[in-house]
Amino acid sequence: MKKKIFLVGMATVFSIGLGACGNAETTSTKDTKQENKVSTSTKQDKQTITYLNNKYTVPKNVTKIATASLESMEDAAVLGVKPVGAVTVGGKIPEYLAKDLDGAESIGEKIQPNYETLLKLKPDVILWTSKSPANVTQKLEKMAPTFPYSHISTNWEDNLRLMGELTGKEEKAEKIITKYNEDAAKAKEKISEKLKGKKVIVARVRGGSLYLYPQDVYLNPVIYNDLGISVPEEIKPVKAQELISLEKLAEINPDYIFLQFSESENAQKPKALEELQNNAIWKSITAAKDNKVFVNSVDPLAQGGTAWSKTAFLKVAAEDLTK
C-alpha cells in the first residue's frame, strides 16, 4: 500500500515538474519574442536619410520639425509644412513667411537658438543652419537629430528634397524643382542674348554700407547660372560677402543693379538708402542714370538660395531685365 502511494506521489511530482519546465520554456520563448519585437520595432521606427553626402538617423514618422534657419523656413512655406518652431527677426517671424508659418513658436533669433524652448517642444528633427558655429550645432544635436541646412544657393534642390523626404512631400518638391527649371530655361531664352555684354549685379545695404556677393551665393546663381548672364570680372574674385566702396562700385559701373535694403539691418542708419540714392557718385552709375536700379525685388530678408527665393526672384528679374 505504501509502495503504491509512493509511486502516485512520484508521478504527481514528475507531472508538476514537467508542467513547470513547460511553463518556463513558454515564458522564456515569449520573453525572447517580446525582446525581438522591441528590437525590430526600434529599427522600424527609425530611418536613415542622406543629405549632402552625410547620413542622419531620424524617426520614421517625423511630425515635429523645428525650422531653426530662415532657409528651412522658406522651404517649409513653399511645401506647405507647418513647423512647431521657427526663428524670428526682431522677435517676429518675417512678414513674408508669417502667414505660411502661422502657429510656429519662436525658438530664438537668427543664429541664437533658445535651448529651453527647444527642449520644451521636443522636436523630432532640428533644421539648423550651415552658417552656425560648430559648438552650437553640437548642443542642438543632443536635443534631436540636427541638419546643418545649407545656406549655399546651389544646394537649393538638396534642401528642398530633404524637407520633402522628412515630411512625405517628395512629389511636391520634385514638381517645384521641375517647374522652376522650366521657367528659368524659358526666361533665359528670352533675355540672355539681349543682355550680352551687360553688367548685372546684386548689392546689399547693411549697416549703412554696400556689399557684394560671390557668384554662387544669395540671388546671384539665378542671374549668372539660371539666366545665363555673364559674371562680371569684378564679381569673380569675391569669395564671401564683401564690403565695396561707392567709388569702386562706380568703377564697375553696372548696367543693372538689384539693390536689397532691410530696415532691421540698418537700424543705426535708417536713412542709408535715401542717402545712397541722393549721392552724386551713385547717380553717375549707368544703372542709376537709366533707371535700372531695382530696390527689394524680393523681400530683403529672403535668403536667396531657396525654392521660395529663387522662384520669387526669377519672376521679377525676368521682367526687370527686359525693361
Domain boundary among 141, 173, 205: 173
Are 196 and 316 in the same domain? Answer: yes
Domain boundary among 117, 144, 173: 173
Determine which helix (DSSP H) or strand (DSSP E) holds 201, and give its type and residue range: strand 200-206
* C-alpha count within 13 angstroms, C-beta hemisphere, residue 139: 13
Cβ distance 203 to 260 under 8 Å?
yes
Q: How many CB atoms lie within 10 A of CB 130?
A: 16
Q: What is the pLDDT of residue 134?
A: 84
Q: Is the pLDDT of residue 8 over 50?
A: no
Q: Is the pLDDT of residue 289 over 90?
A: yes
Q: Is residue 15 part of a domain?
A: no
Q: Is the pLDDT of residue 186 over 50?
A: yes
Q: Is the pLDDT of residue 239 over 80?
A: yes
Are 158 and 54 in the same domain? Answer: yes
Across the range 42-61, mean pLDDT stands at 90
pLDDT band at residue 29 under the 50/70/90 scheme: very low
H helical segments located in 210-306 = 220-221, 246-252, 272-278, 280-283, 286-289
pTM: 0.83
Q: Is the pLDDT of residue 246 over 80?
A: yes
DSSP letters spanning 282-297: HHTSHHHHTT-EEETS
Across the range 128-137, mean pLDDT stands at 88
293: CATH = 3.40.50.1980
| Overall domain count for the chain | 2
Please give the residue range of the domain that contains residue 61: 50-173
pLDDT band at residue 44 under the 50/70/90 scheme: low
Grid cell in block for residue 194: 539681349
pLDDT band at residue 23 under the 50/70/90 scheme: very low
- Residue/partner pairs of 78-84 with CB below 8 Å, 24 or more apart: 78/160, 78/176, 78/306, 78/307, 78/308, 78/311, 79/160, 79/163, 79/164, 79/167, 79/169, 79/172, 79/173, 79/176, 80/169, 80/172, 81/163, 81/167, 81/169, 84/121, 84/123
Q: Is the pLDDT of residue 252 over 80?
A: yes
Distance separating alpha carbons of residues 145 and 121, to the nearest angstrom: 14
Q: Name the residue with cell 544669395.
A: 218
Q: How many CB atoms lie within 10 A of CB 10?
A: 10
Distance separating alpha carbons of residues 312 and 34, to the nearest angstrom: 54
Q: What is the pLDDT of residue 192?
A: 84
Q: What is the pLDDT of residue 18?
A: 37
Are 196 and 315 in the same domain? Answer: yes
Across the range 254-268, mean pLDDT stands at 96
Are 70 and 137 in the same domain? Answer: yes
Q: How far is CA 251 from the centre of its chain?
A: 36
Across the range 287-304, mean pLDDT stands at 96
Q: Is residue 231 part of a domain?
A: yes
Are 165 and 253 in the same domain? Answer: no
Across the range 255-261, mean pLDDT stands at 98
Q: What is the mean pLDDT of the chain?
A: 88
Domain boundary among 112, 138, 173: 173
Distance separating alpha carbons of residues 209 and 259, to the nearest angstrom: 12
Cβ distance 94 to 76 under 8 Å?
no
Classify each residue of 90-121 as buried b or exposed e, where b means 16 or more C-beta atoms within 10 Å of its C-beta: eeebbebbeebbeebbebbeeeebbeeebeeb
